[in-house]
Amino acid sequence: MKLYRAKDYNDMSRKAASIISAQILMKPNCVLGLATGSTPIGAYRQLVDWYAQGDLDFSEVTTVNLDEYKGLTRDNPQSYYYFMNEHLFSKVNICKSRTFLPDGTEPDSHTACENYNETLRAVGAADLQLLGLGHNGHIGFNEPGEYFPTETHCIDLSEQTIKANARFFQTMDEVPRQAYTMGIKTILSARKILIIVSGEDKADIVNTAFSGPVTPRVPASILQLHGNVTLVADEAALSKFQKG
Ligand code: GLP
């Protein structure tokens, strides 16, 4: 695993955006696996700035997102569809028909997951997969469990994740309890993986995930087995990292 130390959130965001933009420059028709959450917002902002300055062209890029809440409509500001439009897609020259997310409005989990698996197969392996890190070690919405789920599946979100997500909703009742997420096998099929982490509240999980044993109880630990992973994290997130 390559480790890039960043001073703070802004530095982490610029470094991550540099890696993503290098991928687009090297292969304009690349497949980018994208993530949501608060961590990648700064990187997306930087990519939008570089696009606005004429330094980046998204016209041939295809994107596949990791996950989507089950039951949220696309016009719900908390849906990941809305998030991606808000932070990236509506601000660059990406072709909307080449941006893919699981369909959170599909009530039948089996149909939603099979449809997304089909999309992912058709698009092919991501050239670069961007990941954030949940406090409990989740990647996408692959929550801690007894095994590593392989493909897209419907997940019951853990209490810890529901609580962490509550800050984005008015009431606890509105916080979705389920999500559709890309599976671990699909995530690992990406040629390169870029995981970004910021903040002291992630220091314990960074150490557990990347210094500890590989176990489905800490889903991100599986990244230790991938041959091309880059971790970009700020000093606060790395403050307890024994292998750092
Ligand atoms: C969310 C997303 C993940 C994200 C994680 C961390 O639940 N499904 O893809 O990486 O939680 O979020 P944040 O970056 O806000 O800490």
Q: How far is the CA of 78 from the centre of ligand 1 (A)?
A: 13
Q: 10 Å Cβ neighbour count for 158?
A: 17
In this prediction, residue 242 carries a pLDDT of 87
How many angstroms separate the alpha carbon of residue 22 from the centre of ligand 1?
A: 24
Q: Which residues line ligand 1 (CB under 6 A)?
A: 35-39, 66-67, 132-134, 140-141, 161
pTM: 0.96
Q: Which CATH number fits domain 2-234: 3.20.20.330, 3.40.50.1360, 3.40.50.300, 3.40.50.720?
A: 3.40.50.1360
Check 68, 87, 138, 153 and give the catalytic one. Answer: 138
Q: Which pLDDT belongs to residue 168?
A: 87
From the first residue on, what is the mean pLDDT of each consecutive set of 10 residues in the chain (244 residues)? 97 98 98 97 98 98 98 94 98 98 98 98 98 96 95 93 89 94 98 98 98 98 98 98 82
Query: Pick the catalytic residue: 65, 117, 136, 142?
Result: 136
